Amino acid sequence: MIHPASELENNWFTIDTIDESTFAFSEYGQWMKVHSYLFVGKEKAVLVDTGLGVGNIRTLVNAITQLPIELVTTHAHWDHTGGHQLFDNFSAHILERDWIEGGFERYSKEIAGYLVKEPFTKPPPNDFDLSKYRPYEHKVKRLHKDGDILDIGDRQLEIIHTPGHSPGHVAVYEEASGYLVTADLLYKGVLLAGLQFSNAQDYRSSLRRLRSLPKIEKLLPGHGRLEIPTDLLDEALNAFDELAEKGQLNNKGSLHTFDRLKIKL
């Protein structure tokens, strides 16, 4: 039985019903405004990312469905894996494995500070202790790869490898509904193509690949506003094409402003 989001109360997550079996969990109380997504099928459910780890996303998932949960990691950055420890298993791309298995250990204090770089605008749960906050680290036992199909019973989700923001970043696509989880490849804000392991050329190629998908009815971003227009994908691709034509994609550290988004190289 699926319980509608309107029946759930939570002091940290905002729960939005995308349709009767698809939900968004948003963390608007923290400045990065991270989103995670739950797709419920007839046989099991897929949770895409777990957010910051400030609130307990597992309690919300359990309140919506009692089906087995398959947790998919779009990429290994700490703000998308914060609640992974609440689940029995998860999958990730092989190019993200090293990060999850220990890449953040020496950055724990730095990341905790980054978490509260700007004050929370919603009170965190009473049991949240910043001094004990640690990025998620665990052995990756299940790998997903480009083209994998997750059949959850009357719903099929496809894993699409979309490197650029990070080497093993993936999007999650449901062709039947036209839902596309773009995670950190596309949202309304500053697109980060210049991080330590980012690649602006790959970023551009990944956007082009997503643009070629047969049906896109709704973009499900990793940050910022939950509701974004589908033509934001066109703007992002055109922006990267423009930078490429000007020979600027390799200008590390530069910031470029466009109509509804910015690109940080």
Domain residue limits, the chain:
5-186+214-227
Residue 156's nearest CA partner among 74, 70, 93 is 70
Cα separations (Å) of 112 from 82, 108, 118? Answer: 11, 6, 12
Q: What is the CATH number of domain 5-186+214-227?
A: 3.60.15.10
% of the chain at pLDDT higher than 70: 95
Model confidence over 1-34: pLDDT tens digits?
Answer: 455 555 455 789 999 999 999 999 999 999 999 9
Candidate from 16-25, 64-73, 87-96, 105-114 with smallest mean pLDDT: 105-114
- pLDDT at residue 8, rounded to an integer: 57
Q: Which residue from 36, 50, 145, 131 is spatially nearest to 89, judged by alpha carbons? A: 50
The pTM of this model reads 0.95
Task: Give all strands (DSSP E) within 45-131, no chain letters.
Answer: 45-48, 69-72, 91-92
Task: Specify the pLDDT at position 104.
Answer: 61
